[in-house]
Amino acid sequence: MRVVFDSNVLLAALLFPGGRAATAVENILDGRDDLVLSPPILREILSVLARKFSRDREELSRVAVVLGEMGEIVNPSRRLTVFRDEPDNRILECVVEGKADVIVTGDKAMLALGEYQGVRLIKLAEYLFIIPRKMPAAPAVSWLLWRPETGLSGTTI
């Protein structure tokens, strides 16, 4: 399944390595699903990490490399204006260009849409439930050892 994660899902995976968002990323790393990203999604993630979590350039560069290697980067060719919140429109553009099957988000406005051009918008919990997944007590692969209090400490991809 081709999946677009809302930036908040990827941020949660970065900030809480043992959480449900990190488990979703494990599904990508294990090859169960394919992640689709776009430059605007990557920019939003890096911007939030820099502004709200005071990450330096080296850490941000490392995150960009890891995310870029994890998924397929698409460059949307058309602009959409479905939502008032512009970053949400960038998610839809990525979905259309990358021919994704599902958007995983916690955004209420996006979830209220339910579906866009045949692509379902679902919560993280639903994504983890729709296809049987292994749910280890701790992530089997620590894709990014990120600690909010200490910062980026390494990768083991």
Residues 58-109 pLDDT 10s: 999 999 999 999 999 999 999 999 999 999 999 999 999 999 999 999 999 9
98, 77 contact by CB (below 8 A)? no
In the chain the first and final C-alpha atoms are separated, in Å, by 21
**How far is Cα 10 from Cα 145, in angstroms, rounded to an integer?**
13
- Copy the structure tokens of residue 39: 């430059």
| Interval 101-156: pLDDT, tens | 999 999 999 999 999 999 999 999 999 987 555 444 344 334 444 444 444 444 43
Kindly state which CATH superfamily the domain 2-154 is placed in. Answer: 5'-nuclease (3.40.50.1010)
Burial letters 95-132, b for 16+ CB under 10 A, else e: bbbbebbbbbbebeebeebeebeebbbbebeebbeeee
